[in-house]
Amino acid sequence: MIRKASFPPVTDTRTRVLICGSLPGERSLAARQYYAHPQNQFWRLIAAVIDRADLPALPYEARLAALLEARIGLWDAVASATRAGSSDAAIANAQANDLGTLAASLPELAAIAFNGATAHRLGLRQLGAHASRWIILALPSSSPLHTIGLPAKLPAWHALRPFLA
């Protein structure tokens, strides 16, 4: 089975919220873009959080720039793993990203939000005792495999707003 690798972090020194997924899915890996699957709700959810209705329609680099402008960073809990398909349940032989070191390097970081249960479980394990340095938020997954609708997910995602001010 082919080993799949995550992307580099998207952060800068102004990042206040770091959103961590687990490992990019097949469509994202093929496109070399975070949350590239057209049914993934990430860009619509984050557009509502930062009041940028145009965000999902922007070119990828412009979306990333808008996130950084809103003081939001992106990364993944898993650096690499073997996995058939895109399901988090199929992740095997995972190697962790050094989430603690990245988080500690962001001087304005206030919160780490995990996009889905797998990212939350793996990310907390990586942060260990250092997790108490930040507010930790467990968000409902934006994945199309997590079938509750966008309206049901929005309240949890709106919890990011206070950290962005």
- Where in the sequence numbering do the catalytic residues fall? 40
| Torsion from C-alpha of 80, 84, 87, 90, nearest 10 degrees | -80
Which residues fall within 8 angstroms of residue 26, CB to CB, at 6 or more apart?
85, 86
Distance of alpha carbon 88 from alpha carbon 152, whole angstroms = 21
How would you list the strands of the sheet with 111-115, edge to edge? Answer: 72-76, 17-21, 111-115, 135-139
Report CA Rg, the chain.
15
Distance of alpha carbon 72 from alpha carbon 154, whole angstroms = 17
